Amino acid sequence: GQQVMQIPQYQHVQEGEDFTTYCNSSTTLSNIQWYKQRPGGHPVFLIQLVKSGEVKKQKRLTFQFGEAKKNSSLHITATQTTDVGTYFCAGITSGTYKYIFGTGTRLKVLA
Amino acid sequence: DVKVTQSSRYLVKRTGEKVFLECVQDMDHENMFWYRQDPGLGLRLIYFSYDVKMKEKGDIPEGYSVSREKKERFSLILESASTNQTSMYLCASSLWGGNTEAFFGQGTRLTVV
């Protein structure tokens, strides 16, 4: 079945350092979404990417969808302690209703 | 705001018991999902439903069943709970199709002893 992998699984950074998580799908995606789960919380939607090569920014967060629509990345510039949590990508294949989540990247930010 | 409510935050059940996890959403969403979350494995899809009485298997349906008799309610059933079903269970809903955001409940941490 369709698989979505994320790397790294864990990342510890000093506050102010940059952070990137990568998402790779075994199949071509229709669109990809990103979610953030704070410790003890539930996943919360951040953004959706639809077009090949699309880049979107939300303040210090930059999201990119690969040209082949099989991979994506989330980059955080100058991390803050509020960025702590687990970041998930979710791939959606055309013609389905299934959101296949990646394995997640857990980010810790050291003050 | 969309609200997805799961019936219990924490649950402890015995091996072999039949367990019901309930999920209710209040925004008339077409799609509803059940995931389990385990460390290092991310969110794995158990079952989903795109309409009342409609259901489809996800990636790990074994040992589970679901029921969707009303649009707002999606139940996950563990027919005979086993210790390997100890996990965090998350319910989610989305408006329609696969290009709208999913809203999650607060999760149910189930322990099977």
The proportion of chain B whose per-residue pLDDT surpasses 70, expressed as a percent, equals 98
As a whole number, mean pLDDT of residues B96-102 equals: 82
B31 contacts in chain A (CB < 8 Å): 97
Mention every residue, 6+ apart, whose C-beta is less than 8 A from residue A41. A85, B106
**Looking at CA atoms only, how far is residue A71 from chain B in angstroms?**
17
B42 touches chain A (CB under 8 A): yes
Q: For residues A88 and B2, give the distance between their C-alpha atoms in angstroms, rounded to a whole number.
A: 20
Two tokens at A32?
A: 């990809």
Q: What is the pLDDT of residue A98?
A: 83
Return the bridge partners of A4, or none: A25
Q: For residues B21 and B63, give the distance between their C-alpha atoms in angstroms, rounded to a whole number.
A: 14
Encoded amino acid at A4, one letter: V
Burial class (CB in 10 A: 0-12, 13-18, 19+), B68: buried
A87 contacts in chain B (CB < 8 Å): none
Q: What is the pLDDT of residue A1?
A: 67
A88 touches chain B (CB under 8 A): yes
Q: What is the pLDDT of residue B2?
A: 67
B59 touches chain A (CB under 8 A): yes
Q: List per-residue pLDDT tens for chain A, 111 residues long.
A: 678 999 999 999 999 999 999 999 999 999 999 999 999 999 999 999 999 999 999 999 999 999 999 999 999 999 999 999 999 999 998 877 788 999 999 999 998
Fill in the DSSP letter of residue B39.
T
Where do we find the tokens 């099977």?
B112
Q: Using CB atoms, which residue from A42, A43, A92 is nearest to B98?
A: A92
B41 contacts in chain A (CB < 8 Å): 103
Strand locations in B16-53 (E): 19-25, 31-38, 42-51
Q: Do A101 and B44 touch (CB under 8 A)?
A: yes
A31 touches chain B (CB under 8 A): yes
Two tokens at A100?
A: 């296949």
B43 touches chain A (CB under 8 A): yes
pLDDT at B14 over 80: yes
Q: For residues B96 and B113, give the distance between their C-alpha atoms in angstroms, rounded to a whole number.
A: 37
* A22 and A73 Cβ atoms separated by less than 8 Å: yes
**Summary mean pLDDT of chain B:** 94
Q: What is the pLDDT of residue B40?
A: 86
**Looking at CA atoms only, how far is residue B55 from chain A in angstroms?**
11
Q: What is the pLDDT of residue A97?
A: 74
* A47 and A104 Cβ atoms separated by less than 8 Å: no
pLDDT tens-digit readout, B37-59: 998 889 999 999 999 989 999 99
Q: Using CB atoms, which residue from A30, A93, A103 is nearest to B40?
A: A103
Q: Using CB atoms, which residue from A31, A45, A103 is nearest to B102?
A: A45
- Omega before residue A43 within 30° of 0, cis: no
In 3D space, the residue among B17, B13, B18, B79 whose CA is nearest the CA of residue B47 turns out to be B79
